[in-house]
Structure 1
Amino acid sequence: MSTENEGTAVPAVPPAPSSAPAAPPAPAAPPAAPAPAEAEQTLVHGAVPQPEGSAPRPGPDPATTPMPATPDAPAPAQQAYAAHESAPSQGGVGWPPPPPTLPSYGGGGHGGEPWGAPQPPAPRRRAGGLIAAVVAAALVAGGIGGAIGYFAADREDNGSGSTTVASSNTPKDFKRDPGTVAGVAAASLPSVVTIEAQGNDGEGGTGTGFIYDKEGHILTNNHVVASAASGGGKLSATFSNGKKYDAEVVGRAQGYDVAVIKLKNAPANLKPLSLGDSDKVAVGDSTIAIGAPFGLSNTVTTGIISAKNRPVASSDGQNSKASYMSALQTDASINPGNSGGPLINSAGAVIGINSAIQSAGAGGMGQSQAGSIGLGFAIPINQAKNVAEQLIKTGQPVYPVIGASVGIQQGSGPGGGGPSATDGAQISQQGNASQQPITPGGPADKAGLKPGDVITKFGDMPIDSGPTLISEIWTHKPGDQVPLTYKRDGKESTVTITLGERKGDSN
């Protein structure tokens, strides 16, 4: 961190001489040039290396964790997690440093020699003296201007003719345009709620949600309400005006990390947020995130869309099941407690649900950071909307499937995973006691896929891992026909696969 004058020595300016000197002063030798102060150094963190052999769209780390609601006690940080955990304070003592001393021109204008005091006549006209006089005159001239400005602004109104114009307060008719951050925030905040969830054991946390319809349905993350979903749990939603309502879970989709809750005794004046089209989002578009980071309700942060179709596998650490998304990546500050909140574009429309962040990993003192590092991930609203409609209608999610089991390791090709493996998602060679690697009569079986095949492309998207494949499959609907490219014995082939369906999160 630096300031404009930091690391630069400011030479002192000699004060103007007295108005009535006793005798002309003798010429003074030019002062020695001050030694420049050592510039302060600022450490810049090194870039995170990328794995070799990654495909155009690198797959997520299976250990990536969604942002959970802010808990009562900090949870261990994971590579990417739901926004619910606290980060250690990193404040320092003695920062920032005091500002550098500035020169006082012409006596400073308050006490000492008067501004613009006359200079004594020089005893001899020499080149060096002339240069010094010119420099002094320039500094004193600056002091005179400053003194006049101060006098004009500070004087009493003793007569007419003053040209001083005082700055006015904000005009009463000042309005913020709808497209500004302030305008979007003002319109959106009344439709965003802070969710408090508590389980039977007393554990829970804080997250965010937003009004989905006038019936009182609220869209949020599954991991925000999971602790209260079991019998006896408590759930409430608080609006930006402080009004609090009890709520109940309508349906949850653990794989999508989407949930719908409903207000009990919902007010009649609910205003749902407008939903945008996440398929039309472009990298560089402005974003606004609203949530309750670390329990600080009604917090607004801004950024841009950093990337699209980012495959992310996340887990809240409470069970072995993971959630998968082909996410919108944003650098808007997202922290524990932002989970379930809206990611909004400059038009005020929701384009995503803030769900996960990438953590910085272990710190140098054996601690882990659990705060924003500019890598936040949101579920595209087009996908979240489809899931929400399913949950409202039936209470359970529907997943598109290909009817085949794949490895979840990064680079899960024939090489067994790791940098040397062939990029792609490999269909398992063997199944387990309850499931075969390819479901007989399922979509993959009908398309001619075999155990050991490596899927390298799904639709238009390159596939580099099992999580990437799952993320892409779940952007579609059951019944969609999608081209699929795979490798078998070094030969590449493309087939069209018709997606099947799976209901619920039991499998």
Structure 2
Amino acid sequence: MRRLRLVLSRGAAAGLLTALAVSCTGDSADSPNTTGSSPRAADETSVSSELQSDYMRVVRKVLPSVVEITTREGLGSGVVYDAKGNIVTNAHVVGEHRSFTVTLADRQQPLRAEFVGRYPVNDLAVIRLEDPPSGLRPATFADSKTVGVGQIVLAMGNPLGLSSSVTQGIVSAVGRTVTKPAGDGAPSAIMPNMVQTSAAINPGNSGGALVNLSSEVIGINTLAAVDEQLGGAAPGIGFAIPSSTVTRIADQLIEDGKVTDSGRAALDVTVRTVLGDDLSPAGAGIVSVNQGGPADKAGLRPGDVITELDDTRITDVQSLAEALAAHAPGDRVTIGYSRGGRSHTTPVTLGTLGSP
């Protein structure tokens, strides 16, 4: 069975790129010489011309809002969030750095930026230009609820150091739950409600914009899939963080430097994978319980092993995280667990996942 894994689309330090040109011959002597076209062909040409005009209009309007972010270790992309110089990007682009160089799409002179906040749980971060120039072009962010499968989108960023690049595709799926691999000092994370797209997302695109034909940002480009069987990129499978998640997290990072309302469900426990007698994963063992949190109120305590969440079997830490990702704060679920060799169940009202 073919397997895919996800890779961060952050770029490495700029390297040498070689372009190969392929020439095409013109019409051959045997080609028919058409002097007219059918009404259908004319209609198709008109539609194609209109779509091309839409693409160019969107690029002209949104591309100035997409920036290149450079750190000591590499480069990525970002999107101008407001006129104060705040820029939203991926947490894995920012890493542990606190100062950055930012190049705007419509300016050659690099600008300095400083760290504002980082939320690795959703792979989002905000940095701020130290001296925002006049005429800064903040992007417009869409409501994620309006995003639908089949919608035409453009991915904008700086793949492989090629600044201000644009690729085209569609929204392939919405509501995907994916696992972000560990990197840049951050652990792996379960990311729900992701937008899947066929628009090419390559290293350096991380933090860039996924844009609809209304010139609205519908997501922040984050991950690309790799075909483990072929050992290379899986064409047409990329993921973006939905715009509503971006604005929710960015607003809190700008205001407080941390996130208290992620919109994601939590039990407020620290867990580890527990192995059964056959040494296979058998549940998520509770290491600690936050006082006053959902698990504490439900009577769960350290040493308990969570084995079910509603009808979902829990075998390890990741399966618990995936099960929680399918719920929202305030949802009432039933937790199955073992204590002292006996099985129990308890109702739990889920809380909100905050900053780690």
- TM-score normalised by length of structure 1: 0.56
Q: 1:345 aligns with which of 209, 212, 225?
A: 212
Matched residues in 2 for 1:222 and 1:68: separation?
Answer: 10
Per-residue Cα deviation, 1:389-448 (whole angstroms, up to 9, x for no partner): 111111123356312234579xx9998657xx7xxxx431x52xxxx2x44542123234
Matched residues in 1 for 2:277 and 2:197: separation?
Answer: 34
Alpha-carbon contact 1:179-1:348 (below 8 Å) kept: no
Per-residue Cα deviation, 1:19-68 (whole angstroms, up to 9, x for no partner): xxxxxxxxxxxxxxxxxxxxxxxxxxxx7269xxxxxxxxxx7xx54222
Aligned-residue offset at 1:220:
0.5
Task: State yes or no: 1:388 paired with 2:330.
Answer: no
Task: State yes or no: 1:336 paired with 2:206.
Answer: no
Identity %: 30
Question: Which 5+ residue runs of structure 1 have no aligned equivalent?
Answer: 1-46, 51-60, 74-85, 106-142, 153-174, 199-203
- What is the match of residue 293 of structure 2? 442
Task: Provide closer, same or farther for how the CA distance between residues 405 and 180 of structure 1 changes in structure 2, counting only shifts above 3 A.
Answer: same
What are the within-5 Å matches in structure 2 for residues 62-141 of structure 1? 64-72=6-14
Alpha-carbon contact 1:289-1:334 (below 8 Å) kept: yes
- What is the match of residue 483 of structure 1? 332
- What is the match of residue 48 of structure 1? 2
Alpha-carbon contact 1:308-1:329 (below 8 Å) kept: yes
Structure 1 residue identity aligned to 2:270: S
Matched residues in 2 for 1:308 and 1:381: separation?
Answer: 12
Matched residues in 2 for 1:264 and 1:335: separation?
Answer: 29
Matched residues in 2 for 1:455 and 1:417: separation?
Answer: 16
What are the within-5 Å matches in structure 2 for residues 3-42 of structure 1? none
Aligned-residue offset at 1:316:
5.0
Matched residues in 2 for 1:357 and 1:375: separation?
Answer: 6
- What is the match of residue 318 of structure 1? 184
Q: 1:495 aligns with which of 338, 343, 347?
A: 347
- Match of 2:305, SS state, is coil
Alpha-carbon contact 1:191-1:272 (below 8 Å) kept: yes
Q: 1:286 aligns with which of 152, 156, 165?
A: 152
Aligned-residue offset at 1:457:
4.8
Structure 2 residue identity aligned to 1:380: P
- TM-score normalised by length of structure 2: 0.76
Q: 1:184 aligns with which of 58, 65, 69?
A: 58
Structure 2 residue identity aligned to 1:352: G
Matched residues in 1 for 2:316 and 2:290: separation?
Answer: 20
- Match of 2:60, SS state, is helix
Aligned-residue offset at 1:243:
4.3
Alpha-carbon contact 1:240-1:298 (below 8 Å) kept: no
Pairwise CA RMSD of aligned residues?
4.2
Aligned-residue offset at 1:211:
1.1
Per-residue Cα deviation, 1:207-230 (whole angstroms, up to 9, x for no partner): 11111111111110111122532x
Matched residues in 1 for 2:251 and 2:63: separation?
Answer: 23
- Match of 1:182, SS state, is helix
Per-residue Cα deviation, 1:469-505 (whole angstroms, up to 9, x for no partner): 536756888xx311224445799968341405544x3
Matched residues in 2 for 1:492 and 1:282: separation?
Answer: 41
The total of aligned residue pairs comes to 333
Aligned-residue offset at 1:242:
3.0
Q: 1:253 aligns with which of 119, 139, 146?
A: 119
Matched residues in 2 for 1:49 and 1:475: separation?
Answer: 23
Task: Provide closer, same or farther for how the CA distance between residues 308 and 456 of structure 1 changes in structure 2, counting only shifts above 3 A.
Answer: farther
Alpha-carbon contact 2:92-2:183 (below 8 Å) kept: no
Alpha-carbon contact 1:222-1:259 (below 8 Å) kept: yes
Aligned-residue offset at 1:269:
1.8
- Match of 1:270, SS state, is coil
Based on CA coordinates, which of the two structures has the bigger radius of gyration? 1
Aligned-residue offset at 1:359:
1.7
Matched residues in 1 for 2:123 and 2:238: separation?
Answer: 15
Alpha-carbon contact 1:481-1:499 (below 8 Å) kept: yes
Aligned-residue offset at 1:468:
5.8
Structure 1 residue identity aligned to 2:249: V
Q: 1:211 aligns with which of 43, 68, 80?
A: 80
- What is the match of residue 195 of structure 1? 69
- Match of 1:382, SS state, is helix
Alpha-carbon contact 1:306-1:329 (below 8 Å) kept: yes
- What is the match of residue 269 of structure 1? 135
- What is the match of residue 40 of structure 2? none
Matched residues in 2 for 1:444 and 1:315: separation?
Answer: 27
Alpha-carbon contact 1:403-1:444 (below 8 Å) kept: yes
Alpha-carbon contact 2:170-2:198 (below 8 Å) kept: yes
Task: Provide closer, same or farther for how the CA distance between residues 393 and 189 of structure 1 changes in structure 2, counting only shifts above 3 A.
Answer: same
- Match of 2:74, SS state, is strand
Alpha-carbon contact 2:284-2:314 (below 8 Å) kept: no
Structure 2 residue identity aligned to 1:251: G
- Match of 1:268, SS state, is coil
Alpha-carbon contact 1:252-1:396 (below 8 Å) kept: yes
Alpha-carbon contact 1:456-1:464 (below 8 Å) kept: no
- What is the match of residue 38 of structure 2? none
Matched residues in 2 for 1:352 and 1:290: separation?
Answer: 11
Question: Which 5+ residue runs of structure 2 have no aligned equivalent?
Answer: 36-48
Matched residues in 2 for 1:353 and 1:178: separation?
Answer: 23
Aligned-residue offset at 1:330:
1.2
Higher strand proportion, which one? 2
